[in-house]
Amino acid sequence: MSDLKATVAETANGFHVEGYEKIEYDFTFLDGVFELPNLQLAKLYEKWGRCLAIMDRNIFELYGQSMQKYFDHHGLELKIHQTMIGEKAKSLDTFTNIVDSMTDFGIIRKEPVLVVGGGLVTDVAGFACAAYRRNTNYIRIPTTVIGLIDASVSIKVAVNYGNYKNRLGAYHAPAHTLLDFGFLRTLPEAQVRNGFAELIKISSCAHLPTFDLLDEFCERLIKTKFGRVSDHDGEIKKAADEINRNGIFEMLKLETPNLHEIGLDRVIAYGHTWSPLHELAPPVPLRHGHAISIDMAYSATLANDRGLLSDEEHRRLLALFSRAGLSMDHELFNEEILDKATQAILKTRDGLLRAAVPSPLGSCKFLNDVAMKEMAQALRRHKELMKEYPRHGAGIEAYVDSSDTGYTINQKHDPAPMHAQASSAEASKKHGLNNGVLHGLKELAINGHGPGLPTLEQR
């Protein structure tokens, strides 16, 4: 929610307008958001007596009935618009499809849309709300680790355009975000791992105690889905709750003074210098967490080369990525991609690299004076280091599948995980044709569920 205070003054040749916008929004930790006794969500909609929900279809398959029962119990009309959004369908067509659902529902000026799903869904639906009548309220219920830890913190909303990530977007704060980590019980392990990268990001550059907890409990956090399954003594859940709360709080403290990114030196941009390009470089995209972990691991090597990160800290960080099954390298991450990604990010960051690196672990420095020759040298060293690690630094289940894209319902097509990054051609074949993604694109486009999907086929 926002409140604008402004003044107008005459000048010699015209007028000067100066305004300050107050932005305020809330986060509520709530286990069991759709459990009937929990009134928090119902109270947000009782004024309106109804709710339009934009919901990831995979989440609808799991929670749609519980959600409908909840709204029925509280005497609220519910209409659910199901959507399927992956990086290749994070598009203007998907955006307009959501806008059409808002028009059909008849959303009125201050009525909040409910957005339920991962970071991709909240990004696109949030952008639709930002654009609809220039400012439509919305409430978020994120359902993935990335959605809960990272996307929920930011007020940025966007779609991809012209094969560039988040090229069109806005800054639009939700009225409220409900944080229910119980959704992780049904989240595929690959998605838990994917979100784990965001916690490494914030802790390694801003909060060493959280990094220590991630290091101590790494494998068990991923296996038990942050203590939401198979945690008999509650030890993992207790650690996970501390990690999650600290991680979100640290990101909020860093982002709140800079919600509109007027300042471009951003600690939480660690891992986001070169990753936007190589995330979409393979025929089938890398998962976001794997793309940024490649960037983070390489950046750590660059920092180590410069003496900003000790050998011990450097190795500790790489070991954590490896234990988590996150990617630290990719065959398409070469000097050409490095150069192209550098040129692209310089435009985004007003001509400076502003590469965030941990120095030391738990704090951050920004690099601006790195020549291409030094970057290339660090990349060659990094690739040599990767030979010492399992899978040569390749990640486990690193490529998107139906749980990311929503192009197909989870586990309907070839559920066998990809335990190491194959070549781009092999990955395309495995995760495109065998996993039903490309066939799913055609089928879903015909059925009207997947606007904007042909991008993947055209690459």
81-90: pLDDT as tens digits: 999 877 667 8
Is residue 276 within 8 Å of 345, Cβ to Cβ? Answer: yes
Assess whether pLDDT exceeds 50 at residue 245: yes
What CA–CA distance (Å, rounded) separates 377 from 302? 9
Is residue 201 within 8 Å of 292, Cβ to Cβ? Answer: yes
Q: Is residue 228 domain-shared with residue 242, that is, in the same domain? A: yes
Q: Is residue 343 domain-shared with residue 308, that is, in the same domain? A: yes
The pLDDT value recorded for residue 343 is: 94
**Token digits for 437?**
């993604």
**Token digits for 266?**
């951003």
**Token digits for 403?**
């749980």
Tell whether 76 is covered by a domain.
yes
Q: What is the pLDDT of residues 25-53, one digit of tens each?
A: 999 999 999 999 999 999 999 999 999 99
Assess whether pLDDT exceeds 50 at residue 453: no
Assess whether pLDDT exceeds 70 at residue 7: yes
Question: Which has the higher per-residue pLDDT, 425 or 366?
Answer: 366
Question: Which has the higher per-residue pLDDT, 254 or 450?
Answer: 254
Instruction: Identify the H or E element spanning 82.
Output: strand 77-83
Backbone angles phi, psi at 113, to 5 degrees: -80, 145
Q: What is the pLDDT of residues 170-189, one digit of tens each?
A: 999 999 999 999 999 999 99
Q: Is residue 277 domain-shared with residue 299, that is, in the same domain? A: yes
Tell whether 3 is covered by a domain.
no
Q: Is residue 172 domain-shared with residue 203, that is, in the same domain? A: no
Q: Is residue 92 domain-shared with residue 158, that is, in the same domain? A: yes
Last residue of some domain: 344, 367, 393? Answer: 393
Question: Which has the higher per-residue pLDDT, 47 or 407?
Answer: 47
Rounded to the nearest integer, the mean pLDDT of the chain is 86
Q: Is residue 273 domain-shared with residue 413, that is, in the same domain? A: no
Is residue 397 within 8 Å of 417, Cβ to Cβ? Answer: yes
Tell whether 20 is covered by a domain.
no
Q: How far is CA 367 from CA 221, 270, 382, 427, 440, in A?
A: 32, 11, 18, 34, 43
Q: Is residue 107 domain-shared with residue 206, that is, in the same domain? A: no
Last residue of some domain: 171, 186, 201? Answer: 186
Tell whether 13 is covered by a domain.
no
Q: Is residue 348 domain-shared with residue 202, that is, in the same domain? A: yes
Q: Is residue 247 domain-shared with residue 155, that is, in the same domain? A: no
The pLDDT value recorded for residue 298 is: 98
Q: Is residue 176 domain-shared with residue 216, that is, in the same domain? A: no
CATH number for the domain spanning 49: value is 3.40.50.1970
Assess whether pLDDT exceeds 50 at residue 447: no
The pairing of strands 77-83 and 364-367 is unpaired
Question: Which has the higher per-residue pLDDT, 90 or 321?
Answer: 321
Structural domain boundaries, residue 316: 189-253+263-393
User: Can you tell me whether residue 214 is helix, strand or coil?
Assistant: helix
Domain count, the chain: 3
pTM exceeding the 0.75 threshold for the entire prediction: yes
* Residue (of 89, 149, 101, 140) closest to 117 by Cα position: 140
Q: Is residue 71 domain-shared with residue 201, that is, in the same domain? A: no
The pLDDT value recorded for residue 403 is: 66
The pairing of strands 113-117 and 50-56 is parallel
What CA–CA distance (Å, rounded) separates 149 from 134? 27
Last residue of some domain: 339, 369, 393? Answer: 393
Tell whether 5 is covered by a domain.
no
Tell whether 151 is covered by a domain.
yes
Is residue 394 within 8 Å of 420, Cβ to Cβ? Answer: yes
Tell whether 384 is covered by a domain.
yes
